[in-house]
Amino acid sequence: MIKRRRAGQIGVELMMIVLAAIFFIPVFYLFVTTFKTPDEATLHPMSLPENWSFANYKVAWDVMQFPHVLLNTLIVTVTSVGCIIIFSSMAAYGLARRNHGFHRVLFYLFLAGMMVPFQMGLVSLYKLIMGLGIMDSLWSVIVVNIGSGCVIAIFLFHSFIHSAVPLELEEAAFIDGCSVWGTFWKIAFPLLTPVIATVAIVTTLNVWNDFMNPLLFLQSREHNVILLEVFRNIGQFSVDWTNLFPMLLLGVSPLLIFYLFMQKYMIKGVAAGALKG
């Protein structure tokens, strides 16, 4: 029985190794192509480059105007994520600490928003942004990101507050004369660090990789974000992959570094929010 179980484990491990190798092939292809010439990438797509050159990265850096679009992307991402964390944590705290029927219905309405496809409201959003007079500005994307990102964030904060924030601490603060506002910021909010990290990672990934909202609401190149610049440099009838792939790697590298530093906090936040009591 032990030998059979051990053989089964070895078989599963070998299968996982094979699957990992298969999934790594596109990543390998993307990476090595960034160092090739167009002819070499066409003739020998999976081989290593004969001469490792960073010329394609320099071309991508200049063509994309990378420092400028990176700054725009950072402004949109940091502002959106910060506002989502602040607004969602306050809303979730109020809903979690009130047991009235109205608050439960309101929370269920937020949950219902998770089930409605975002694309169904694009026409209304477009009219709203036009009415606010912020079309073709970074604020148009930020406002839409905040509205769409608060739904899942409220759900995560609400679950975490119920499971991991002791009500007795807040009651003690009330007895000592602390207001509701002070209790939230001084007592409850510091305890939300794990789920704040989770929300920050999830929303950062969504906002950074968002293509539809910038495409709809940003119309001038001055306000372009990274994905729009990548899309702008794709030809109508042909694509120079040796120039496109360096753009993709330049665009994803800040997000990859951020995720590597924050992934342990995401695991802690998800685990803590999943446990009750």
CA angle 201/33/41 to nearest 5° reads 150
Here the tokens at position 155 are 């759900």
**pLDDT exceeds cutoff 60 at 274:** no
Superfamily of chain region 59-274: MetI-like (1.10.3720.10)
User: pLDDT, tens digit, for every residue of 214-257?
Assistant: 988 988 888 889 988 888 877 665 677 788 888 888 888 888 88
CA angle 207/126/114 to nearest 5° reads 50
Name the least confident of 62-76, 109-123, 148-162, 165-179: 109-123
pLDDT value of position 277: 42
User: pLDDT, tens digit, for every residue of 72-108?
Assistant: 999 999 999 999 999 999 999 988 888 777 777 888 8
Q: Indicate the average pLDDT of the chain.
A: 84
Q: How far apart are CA 116 and CA 216, in angstroms?
A: 20
Here the tokens at position 178 are 């602390």
**pLDDT higher at 262 or 134:** 134
Pick from 87, 57, 71, 86: which is nearest to 246 by CA?
A: 57
Q: How far apart are CA 260 and CA 264, in angstroms?
A: 8
Pick from 72, 68, 86: which is nearest to 146 by CA?
A: 86
**pLDDT exceeds cutoff 70 at 188:** yes
pLDDT value of position 16: 92
pLDDT value of position 159: 86
Contact 158, 96 (CB under 8 A): yes
Residue type, 212: M
Question: What is the domain partition of the chain in residue ranges?
Answer: 2-33, 59-274
CB-based contacts of 90: which residues, under 8 Å, 6+ apart? 184
pLDDT value of position 267: 64
- Residue 53 DSSP SS3: coil
Per-residue b/e over 12-46, b at no fewer than 16 CB within 10 Å?
eeeeeeeeeeeeeeeeeebebbbbbeeebbeeeee
pLDDT value of position 103: 77
The CA-atom distances, in angstroms, between 17 and each of 3, 94, 227 are 21, 47, 32
